[in-house]
Structure 1
Amino acid sequence: MPFEIKTGRTVGGMEHRAQTMLYTLLIAERYGVQTPTGILYYTQKDEIIQVHPARNELRGLMIGRNELAASIMYHREPKSSEPSEPHTPETPSEMPPTQPPTQLEFNSFNDDGFLPPPIDENYQCSKCYVKDACVLYRAAVEKMPPSPISQLSDKAAHLTPSQKEFFAHWETLIALEEQDMVRFRKELWTMGAEEREKHGRCFAHMMPGPKIKKDGKFIYEFTRAPKPEATPETVLDLTMSPSTPKKKSGSPPVLDLTSSPAPHYQMGDRFEYSFGSADSLLNGHIIKGDAVTISIDPSLLAFARGFVLDITTKSITVAFDQELPLEGVAIRRHSKSKTVLDFRIDKDDYSGGMAKLRSNLAALFYQSGDERRLRLVVDLMKPRFFAPGEDEKLPETRANVLNPNQRAAIELVLRAQDYALVLGMPGTGKTTMVVELIKELVRRGKSVLLTSYTHSAVDTILLKLLEVEFDVLRLGNVDKVHMEARKFALGAKETPETLEALERQLLRPLVVATTCLSIDHPLFARRTFDYCIVDEASQITLPSCLGPLRFAEKFVLVGDHFQLPPLVKSKYARQGGMDVSLFRRLSDAHPEAVVDLALQYRMNAEIMTLSNKLIYSDRLQCGNEQVANQALRIPLPSAGLNWHNSCGDGPNNLCWLNSLIDPSCKVRFVDTDGLPARNTVVGSLVQNEIEAQLVLQTIEALSRSGIEPTQIGVISPYRQQIKLLAHMLQERPEIEILTADRSQGRDKDCIIISMVRSNEDGNIGDLLKDWRRLNVSFTRARSKLIGDLLKDWRRLNVSFTRARSKLVIFGSRGTLKCDALLEQFFDLIDEKGWYMCLPKDAHLMHDFSKVHGKRMALESLGDSQPAGDTPFKRARVSSGVLKGRPLLQDIIVIDDD
């Protein structure tokens, strides 16, 4: 029975009764029980009203509901005749091609009317709480004549034609993005689990394991329910309780949800799936970190939402904020004591942020909005700066911890009257600059709103403010805040006993930090700030970025539009320009408002050269000679060489692996055409098994030479290749395997990039065209870089710049050179001598399996022994004793402490 609490004065209004009736219908649909009554409770008058839905009232509600749903779905249906597959930043080129929208389709997206016709009734319109938005959409989007009501028509009179056109354009882009996001959510209700699994967006016929509670989360491992035709060797044994009835042959598993205590599953023999099997859980679009919904087929849909912690060929582990109510759901839906539950797991394409984007955009155009901000953002009015003077000079104690670029950035911000833009190139100390800027603004008595799109970006800055003496307030869900940064969260502070104490906690701190999507906190109805600092602004869509800006007098955007662009799923919206951030829009219009951070302290000179020549026009510089000359130090070089001899692979000087791991080899493109190593397709997903083997062998050689797993990172633009590599590297969980998008913010001594694409057609896919993402990958490595290049130069830029000392890139030159942009890359590779061509069957030259098996057996023996056996001591020797004994080096524990 629904129990609705109302705090207003009106009692028993029609809209309150209708709301309660809808709740009764929702309960009936969700739990399969009739709910004849609902309760309304009015707190101000302490009055309770029972609501008994009548048939004619429910009929009217259903008619209204159907009319609304039909209108919404009409506007959400794609205009193109061909449906498109979902786009993610990691997989656009893994999807089937779609027809782009024609210019007529794009321009006429709202020609048929975006909203219902206006009523233009003086009394009702004057009391309407959305009249500002109504007038704006009427004037800018639907281009209707002004309202005959003067007080309404005046609300849009201040807008120029170009401003109306700007709003209409961005409203269309938001609608296109919303289309793409909701198109696949409806499949949960309209498509069976098995059919949706064929499209890679669902796992059908799953069953949960025992519950594990960890760090406040409830974790369940789901595995496949056994198939009716399964043999005894492949049946998943679920031992739940002595009273569990025997499963009849050919029937689904019976889960006893009424036993007490709760059932406990003991895993017996599991299914054996090869990675290429159609039943493998790795052959779909769901990956680690994705949001998913849990349903019970056929009718209890999306009753829980969680996030994927891990996924293998056989199982998927999901974390939830709350315990799954399996027993309660079964009792409510069925009267039987034994219930057959068929679980499905669906990828959740959340679209709840679209309303916030519309609100952010519209607020800029309202009559009561910020006219100066409107002219700066829409009309691109030139920003103003004070003339340089002594007031902007930093104290000597602050200036000494900053390089000249960082000092210039802070001084430009202090001179700004409207806004300043900071272009933070890879490894240039952007976070340090932001931290020192906040300290300097607070020293001058200024209030600061710090924001970014992600929680991790906000907390990265806060972690460098842990020891400051001024107050910092962190808003947002505390579960998503970094553990060390929770000291700033409201929940971590002393519980206020009075309203005045609460206001002090909210209004006194000079620094408030939150994400762009958390600006609906009640705090912002009471506070404005002197400055708003937006970190990673080049990755945030324009409407998202506008939200926090309206709460500050001046703003500072920090980013790099040569790396990752904003995440936009809709191909049509990207073609319309939705992936152009506010940072890029303003920096292109007013380069005088941009200050570069160009002294980098991450990459050696060779790795830096890639991004410098291809992207930054030689603006990047190494911060010092130590950074410029750094190389990947190999602790046990003889171990790698002797290991090679033990494999019987020929002379050391002919081994491609020995050449690759040499410290003097700092950047290499490894051409796989000689093997060859062709990519394969799993459904619509692209992977390259041979290339993955080469990556694995390189990691093994580096590890045997003494390189720690945490020093190595692997990047690929394709999610399917990421899953394949993760499966092959299960025994080395410390090695991070990331897409280019998720690698930003992570840098390693050695980065290995797998480009995947290798085919006779020269098809490299859209993913490799974005140079910004490749730049991020390149600059993640400090000393060595290994990887493939794709058409997306932004992704290449991301990938390149992850490496500190070594960068290795595996790919097919014959395939990749078909793109004109990548020709520039290969010209540079040839010029610098950074090219390596693998011989035929190079992936078969090294066999790690035998010595690896010996090592695993010894490790297992050393960690545990049968009860009653005499304990033995494990010998530990120094590396000097092992010189010239390659077989011993593979099995003896080295102790050089």
Structure 2
Amino acid sequence: MELRGPVVAVEEPRTVSTRNGSRDVAEVTMRPGRGEEPPVTVSLWGSWAETAESLVTGMTVLVTEPSQEEFRGETRYATTAESYVVIEPEFMVNVTDIREWVQCSRQYYLSKFTGASLSYPLVKGSLVHEVFGDLLRGRDLETSVEERVADAGLKLGLLDRDRTAVVEDVRSNAQAIERWLQQGTLTEDDEWRSELTLISETFGIKGRADAVRRGGPVELKTGKNTDAEPRFKDKVQATCYALLLGEHGQTPETGTLLYTKNAVLDRTEETGDLSPAKEFSISSGLLQFVVRARNELVAMEFDSSVPTGYESNAICEYCFEQDTCMVVSGRLDQESKAGAVGTALPAAEREYFDRLYRAAEAERREIHREYAKLWTQSAAERAADDKALLDLQPQERSQRANGTWELRAENDDTTAVSKIREGETVLASDGHPTRGDTELARVVRLRTSTDGTTEIVVHADEPIELRRLDVYPSDYGINGLLTAVHDSVLKGAQRRRDLLFGRRDPTFGETDATFIDNNAAQNRAVELAVTAEDCALIHGPPGTGKTYTLAQTVRALCERGERVLLSAFTNRAVDNALEQLREQGFTDFVRIGTEHGVSDSMQDARLDYRGDPEERAATLRNAPVVAGTAATCGSPVLKECAFDVAIVDEAGQLTEPDTLAAINLADRFVLVGDHEQLPPVVRDDDSALQTSLFERLIDRYPDAAVTLDKQYRMAQRIQYFSSQTFYDGQLRPASPAVAGQQLSELPTVSHEALPSALQDAVAFVDPDGTATGNVNRTEAERVAEIVDAYRSAGVPADDIGVIAPFRAQVAEITRRVSPDITVDTVDRFQGSDRSVIIVSFVATGTLDSPIFEDRRRVNVALTRAKKALCLVGDERALRSDPFYERMLEWAQS
């Protein structure tokens, strides 16, 4: 039995006399059944009374295994020896965060935004953990060490580490692991599981256990510990995993900590217990302690308060974060047990930091709601939300050379659609993502054949039965946002901060050079970027050649001896910019990114981290242009680099912290984008992250911006609505040829073969269908007929694109058209164009979905077409909104 629901009232804890002596108790009133049932009172006894001090009205609380008794007609509940009390159980806390909170609540807070820098202890620790996993999967030690060190070549090179010395260091730690694994205490009956992913529905805790042996957790630490017992913070980490394993039917009685450095200590110089493996008993008291610690952390996050260090009785004297803690406290005017140094930042900068901190944490909470949907939604609901692929048929599975597994499955459900993409990390399971056998896996192949069967290939640590894939709602990127804000506000140069906070206007030098001689706006953009002493802003409406201009800017800067960071929101935009550089004869660049993220045409430029450390580091350090997504700019590798200029494309789509991550690495920056197209993607509708830095700066510093006003893509008829609606009528065709282009100019097209309704450059078709959810099958069929009409008139398949607002409608249309017709959502069409674009609006009757409220998405959809644009939708629904009514009048004029 459990009670779960919102808190209605909380009484102060008090001490009462019982027949077993004095005990603390606190009365909590809550509404069970997730708030649907009448209020009840629960007595929290003993240590759980401490948790009541963290409860406030409105919080959700979960009480497991309560006792129940009738008293004067009222049912009363109380905690028992088997009970747990969990605050906000759907707020997912990482196991490592609980470990850090217990050690120091202040350190937990600081680790969110001080970022993991590139350091040898961290790199070595990762290598030893990887070798540990390899050994558990049966891989040879020497092979594993050599291969893992080679994989880390770039990182080791940036740290100026000798490969041979690192191999010896990792080997010595790994040998300690191997000797322990070979001890006689292990038998053939031992069952091992490495890197086990655990997500708790009850406790709101998630993590990956290093290993599980006989149902008990084994955690690896590359440091030393000469005490007989494991360190308490390490016990806490292992106990968290024991708690989660208990939810999965295991009953671990002991945990093991493996301190590998103990094996390489000089026994003539060290005293104490030098054995690497240290076991401890997992008691109910320790299990309850980690839940209470987790509750304290969540309560702090619930009201966005900042911990001081007093919460966990931190010992500051020997803390390696003491100096950082004191600086942050001083600069942000925060209370800290360690004290504070330095002068507080101006109030505007502290408010800016706090505002973006709260916005990032609000995004984290939205992501945690997605975690809860893994179990609160049914499988069918997950699939309907495009978050899961169900009923997969497992195919062959094979062990790879590195000991991990390649798992294959097929899906013959032709109606299945999801947000899962190749290269992404997902939850692979044998049927349920939290209750079943689950592995974190990387999708390496997700392809649908002409008969509708989807082939699925993933790589995972263990060979599970692959029957389901779920989107993995990682909050990993949130700390990256916080780190970018921290680095900008607390580490950024005064001159940069003055610019960002409006205390100083951007300044520019002079040049007599002409960079582009046939487009004044493009030339002015390059000129502004080259002479900028702080920043320059290039506003590039659709089809205006912003990628060409960006490439010219990169070349001009490099010719002046500048080192350039080239970044963007998407991998596609980064690769498009590099393609344009190649077309202009410039190839001296390196691409940072994963094999799946980088396009096929740019694989030869991708910097492989694997190899000789010195050579890998030299390649990165000597490259005049380094390119990668904004998300990559926060990585430890790129944070080791310095640039003269950062150029950020798609800047209108990036949140402000995302943009900061890129520009923090450079002395000056150029933002390129269009705030009238796709906005930043945020989950919280009221978020301060909705406005990009590009939009904020272009509003504040219009003299630092250039708008490209000649477009090379669309016929005059097509571009008219967007020009008038979004660009004050300033967008115009670059030439009469662009303005007057027609489909009949394509050599294979017969204009007369087109139906009369499609002969105009802009057409509207009402299919008289009915939307069911996010699908309109009649409209999808009509779109397929329109595609056939264009094809019959001679339009090549690769010249036709179809855009729909929902993935479900994309899937519905895809099933009805040839595989060589591109059908996708607006977001994935950004940066692309076709001679013919067909837009399916889906909705009938009214425009109820929030997706129709963002007019900028419509701007993107309408401006993908070069020669012909066909809008397909319900006229009555579209005329229910003034904006869409104006669009219809234009289309039908």
Using structure 1 for the length normalisation, give the TM-score. 0.66
Quote the residue 2:794 is aligned against. Answer: 706
CA contact (8 A) 2:588 2:623 kept: yes
For the structure 1 residues 823 and 23, does the alpha-carbon distance in structure 2 shift closer, same or farther, using more than 3 Å as the test?
A: closer
| In structure 1, C-alpha distance between the alignment counterparts of 2:369 and 2:586, rounded to whole Å | 50
Quote the residue 2:496 is aligned against. Answer: 373
Corresponding residue to 2:661 among 547, 553, 563: 547
For the structure 1 residues 212 and 586, does the alpha-carbon distance in structure 2 shift closer, same or farther, using more than 3 Å as the test?
A: farther
Quote the residue 1:309 is aligned against. Answer: 446
Matches within 5 A, 1:123-162: 124=316, 127-129=319-321, 132=324, 136=328, 146-147=335-336, 152-155=339-342, 157-162=343-348
For the structure 1 residues 182 and 210, does the alpha-carbon distance in structure 2 shift closer, same or farther, using more than 3 Å as the test?
A: same
Give the CA deviation at 1:170: 1.3
Give the CA deviation at 1:153: 2.9
| In structure 1, C-alpha distance between the alignment counterparts of 2:688 and 2:590, rounded to whole Å | 35
Matches within 5 A, 1:243-392: 280-282=415-417, 292-297=426-431, 299-307=435-443, 309-310=446-447, 316-320=454-458, 322=459, 325-326=462-463, 329=464, 343-366=467-490, 368-377=491-500, 379-390=501-512
CA contact (8 A) 1:37 1:50 kept: no
Quote the residue 1:691 is aligned against. Answer: 779
For the structure 1 residues 147 and 301, does the alpha-carbon distance in structure 2 shift closer, same or farther, using more than 3 Å as the test?
A: same
Which letter maps to 1:371? Q
Q: Which string of whole-angstrom CA distances, capped at 9 and with x for unpartnered residues, describes residues 153-198 of structure 1? A: 334x331222222222211211111111121213335666467557
CA contact (8 A) 1:751 1:807 kept: yes
Matched, 1:53 2:53: no
| In structure 2, C-alpha distance between the alignment counterparts of 1:622 and 1:318, rounded to whole Å | 45
Corresponding residue to 1:619 among 722, 725, 730: 730
Which letter maps to 2:352? F
Quote the residue 1:650 is aligned against. Answer: none
Quote the residue 1:209 is aligned against. Answer: 395
Which letter maps to 2:341? D
CA contact (8 A) 2:743 2:835 kept: yes
Matches within 5 A, 1:87-102: none
For the structure 1 residues 187 and 138, does the alpha-carbon distance in structure 2 shift closer, same or farther, using more than 3 Å as the test?
A: farther
Quote the residue 1:41 is aligned against. Answer: 260
| In structure 1, C-alpha distance between the alignment counterparts of 2:549 and 2:516, rounded to whole Å | 11
CA contact (8 A) 1:475 1:489 kept: yes
CA contact (8 A) 1:7 1:44 kept: no
For the structure 1 residues 407 and 28, does the alpha-carbon distance in structure 2 shift closer, same or farther, using more than 3 Å as the test?
A: same
Matches within 5 A, 1:768-807: 768-770=852-854, 793-807=855-869
Matched, 1:744 2:869: no
Partner SS, residue 720 of structure 2: helix
CA contact (8 A) 1:205 1:342 kept: no
| In structure 1, C-alpha distance between the alignment counterparts of 2:851 and 2:380, rounded to whole Å | 29
Give the CA deviation at 1:210: 4.0
| In structure 2, C-alpha distance between the alignment counterparts of 1:565 and 1:550, rounded to whole Å | 22
Corresponding residue to 2:716 among 605, 609, 627: 605
Matched, 1:535 2:649: yes
Give the CA deviation at 1:399: 3.5
Which letter maps to 1:430? K
Quote the residue 1:472 is aligned against. Answer: 589
For the structure 1 residues 118 and 193, does the alpha-carbon distance in structure 2 shift closer, same or farther, using more than 3 Å as the test?
A: same
CA contact (8 A) 1:562 1:794 kept: yes
For the structure 1 residues 618 and 703, does the alpha-carbon distance in structure 2 shift closer, same or farther, using more than 3 Å as the test?
A: same
Quote the residue 1:510 is aligned against. Answer: 624
Give the CA deviation at 1:315: 5.4
Give the CA deviation at 1:44: 5.6
Give the CA deviation at 1:585: 0.6
Give the CA deviation at 1:61: 5.1
Which letter maps to 1:49? S
| In structure 2, C-alpha distance between the alignment counterparts of 1:169 and 1:317, rounded to whole Å | 45
Which letter maps to 1:474? R
For the structure 1 residues 486 and 310, does the alpha-carbon distance in structure 2 shift closer, same or farther, using more than 3 Å as the test?
A: closer
Partner SS, residue 490 of structure 1: coil
Matched, 1:679 2:771: yes
For the structure 1 residues 197 and 415, does the alpha-carbon distance in structure 2 shift closer, same or farther, using more than 3 Å as the test?
A: closer
| In structure 2, C-alpha distance between the alignment counterparts of 1:527 and 1:23, rounded to whole Å | 37
Corresponding residue to 1:185 among 371, 374, 398: 371
| In structure 2, C-alpha distance between the alignment counterparts of 1:636 and 1:364, rounded to whole Å | 55
Quote the residue 1:486 is aligned against. Answer: 603
Which letter maps to 1:319? V
CA contact (8 A) 1:542 1:580 kept: yes
Structure 1 gap segments, 5+ residues each = 78-108, 224-269, 330-340, 642-656, 771-792, 834-897
Matched, 1:221 2:409: yes
| In structure 2, C-alpha distance between the alignment counterparts of 1:206 and 1:6, rounded to whole Å | 38
CA contact (8 A) 1:20 1:38 kept: no
Give the CA deviation at 1:32: 5.8
Corresponding residue to 1:567 among 645, 657, 681: 681
| In structure 1, C-alpha distance between the alignment counterparts of 2:472 and 2:312, rounded to whole Å | 40
Give the CA deviation at 1:712: 0.5
| In structure 1, C-alpha distance between the alignment counterparts of 2:256 and 2:310, rounded to whole Å | 35
Give the CA deviation at 1:723: 1.4
Which letter maps to 1:352? Y
Partner SS, residue 728 of structure 1: coil
| In structure 2, C-alpha distance between the alignment counterparts of 1:45 and 1:212, rounded to whole Å | 40
Q: Which string of whole-angstrom CA distances, capped at 9 and with x for unpartnered residues, describes residues 65-120 of structure 1? A: 3234334555777xxxxxxxxxxxxxxxxxxxxxxxxxxxxxxx53xx34365469
Which letter maps to 1:765? S
| In structure 2, C-alpha distance between the alignment counterparts of 1:691 and 1:301, rounded to whole Å | 41
Give the CA deviation at 1:199: 6.3
| In structure 1, C-alpha distance between the alignment counterparts of 2:407 and 2:799, rounded to whole Å | 30
Give the CA deviation at 1:704: 1.6
CA contact (8 A) 1:287 1:723 kept: no
Matched, 1:173 2:359: yes
| In structure 1, C-alpha distance between the alignment counterparts of 2:314 and 2:237, rounded to whole Å | 30
CA contact (8 A) 2:509 2:532 kept: no
CA contact (8 A) 2:430 2:467 kept: yes
Quote the residue 2:151 is aligned against. Answer: none
| In structure 1, C-alpha distance between the alignment counterparts of 2:710 and 2:326, rounded to whole Å | 50
Which of 448-457 and 626-635 deviates more? 626-635
Q: When the two structures are aligned, how many residues end up with a matched partner?
A: 658
Which of 800-809 and 162-171 deviates more? 162-171
Partner SS, residue 49 of structure 1: coil
Quote the residue 2:203 is aligned against. Answer: none
Give the CA deviation at 1:386: 2.9
Q: Which string of whole-angstrom CA distances, capped at 9 and with x for unpartnered residues, describes residues 792-832 of structure 1? A: x10110001100000010122222122122233244345xx
CA contact (8 A) 2:634 2:661 kept: no
Matches within 5 A, 1:604-683: 604-633=715-744, 641=753, 658-662=755-759, 665-672=760-767, 676-681=768-773
| In structure 2, C-alpha distance between the alignment counterparts of 1:418 and 1:169, rounded to whole Å | 25
Partner SS, residue 603 of structure 2: helix
For the structure 1 residues 24 and 806, does the alpha-carbon distance in structure 2 shift closer, same or farther, using more than 3 Å as the test?
A: closer
| In structure 1, C-alpha distance between the alignment counterparts of 2:479 and 2:233, rounded to whole Å | 24
